[in-house]
Homo-oligomer: A and B are copies of this chain.
Amino acid sequence: MVEIIGKMLAGNKFSAIKEMLSEMNIVDIATMMEEMEPEDQVRLFRLLPKQSSADVFSYLDSDIQSVIVDAITNTELKFLMEDMFLDDTVDFLEEVPANVVTRVLAHTNPETRKLINKFLQYPENSAGSIMTIEMVSFPENYTVHQAIDEIRKTALDKETIYTCYCTDSKRKLVGTVPLRRLIVAPEGTLIKDIMYDDEQLISVNTLDDQENVAAIVKKYDLLSVPVVDKEDRLVGIITIDDIVDVIEEENTEDFEKMALLHPSEDQYLKTNVFTLYKNRIVWLLILMVSATFTGQIIEGFENKLALIAGLTGAIPMLMDTGGNCGSQVSTLIIRGIALGDVKITDYFKVLWKEIRVALLCGITLAIVNFVRMWIIRSVTHSDVQLNTFIVICLAMICAVIVAKTIGCTLPILAKMIHLDPALMAGPMLTTIVDAITLLIYFSLANVFINAGLIAG
């Protein structure tokens, strides 16, 4: 496709290209443009039907958006900005270089410019920063006939017309009415008689976190949610397509935090080496330094480790098993908290569940491990004492219980003290569990040695 268009562009077959573009989905056009050379991108953009160029532009990556804005005339730019939805304009301006922003603002009308500046000031990830102002709203004392008439007239400039918002004389949000209700209602009915109000009216505040907005939209299966300011005045809406993006963004952030990466909003392939380094190194350093404790524990026991065959070799297995058990439960709990299934008040329920699971897992692992070590001992004719195996297996059971306990406690504790539970996943947990596992292991070994059950 890209090649065909490229050849057509080279051959100046503009009318054929226009014909083709008018038949294509705007998302497909944007996807196709991303694979083209910069000069072709600009040429193709200019061939787009006027009414769809703003839509296609919204779907482009910010680097291509910059290229296009650099290449088009001020008149074209003005037209483009007027045709775009405000949330897309703000998204675009947040990503491009300052000189592009300046030029764009210079070529929008003063009213829009004021609005854009206001939107750019909403805190990152707030409802205000992702909302748009192109909604359908009318006074609650309109009739159904008046309302539908209003919708007909303005439908094409609105981000959605499927939920309409009703305001009182002070622009306060007093109700919502789905288009579906309007369409089946008799023409003379007053909007205030069919709108959802009071208990049923769902709205968010400009400063609400986008994660909470997403949770509300998911819970109530909404197509859009109204955004109000401190005085309950309707200032914008957030539509489901933006909520889907928020959901994926928040999930990505959780994945990143669980692997102790500094969250980044850029795609992997577009992030440069130094940024990747920066996003990773801090946690790596912290964790490495905290492994000092584990090292010290081992060094404190080094003489005995050297004397008794088989003890050192079990260290990685105990550490890995503890870490794996901890990861499993912390992942489940973190995800449960994120989806709202697990609450702080469920802690004791969770703990009691995990202790039982830990016992089952620990005993199974210990038995299999004993058999495994026995077989290796027989095959290799080693002289490891059987009681050493018992120490290792007992340590295994304790390690699993400790790992599961800490694994379910840390995320809930984090939630309690308003930290992000996702930080308490794998790597962080492993470091803590490792140290405790080794302490238990060496203490058990000491008990056996002092009781004369293992000989040095």
Contacts and interface: CB of A to CB of B under 8 A. Distances in A.
A350 B350 CA distance: 40
Given A312-B305, A324-B284, A273 B200 contact: no
A336 interface: yes
B368 A259 contact: no
A50 to B, nearest CB: 17
Interface in A363-398: 364-365, 368-369, 372, 376
A357 interface: yes
A202 interface: yes
Copy number in the complex reads 2
Given A152-B183, A240-B240, A255-B255, A294 B316 contact: yes
B220 A25 contact: yes
A284 B317 contact: no
A417 interface: no
A23 interface: yes
Nearest to A291: B317
Contacts of A292: 317, 372, 376
Contact of A320 (B287, B339, B342): B287
A184 interface: yes
Interface residues of A, number: 113
Chain A interface secondary structure, helix, strand, loop or mixed?
Answer: helix
18 contacts: A25-B196, A25-B202, A25-B220, A162-B180, A162-B223, A218-B248, A255-B335, A259-B327, A268-B350, A269-B342, A280-B357, A288-B365, A291-B317, A291-B320, A299-B313, A302-B312, A306-B306, A320-B434
Interface of A: 23-25, 27-28, 148, 151-152, 155-156, 161-162, 179-180, 183-184, 196, 198-200, 202, 217-221, 223, 240-241, 243-244, 247-248, 251-252, 254-256, 258-261, 267-269, 273-274, 276-277, 280-281, 283-285, 287-289, 291-292, 294-296, 298-299, 302, 305-306, 309-310, 312-317, 319-321, 323-325, 327-328, 330-336, 339, 341-342, 346, 349-350, 353, 356-357, 360-361, 364-365, 368-369, 372, 376, 426-427, 430-431, 434, 438
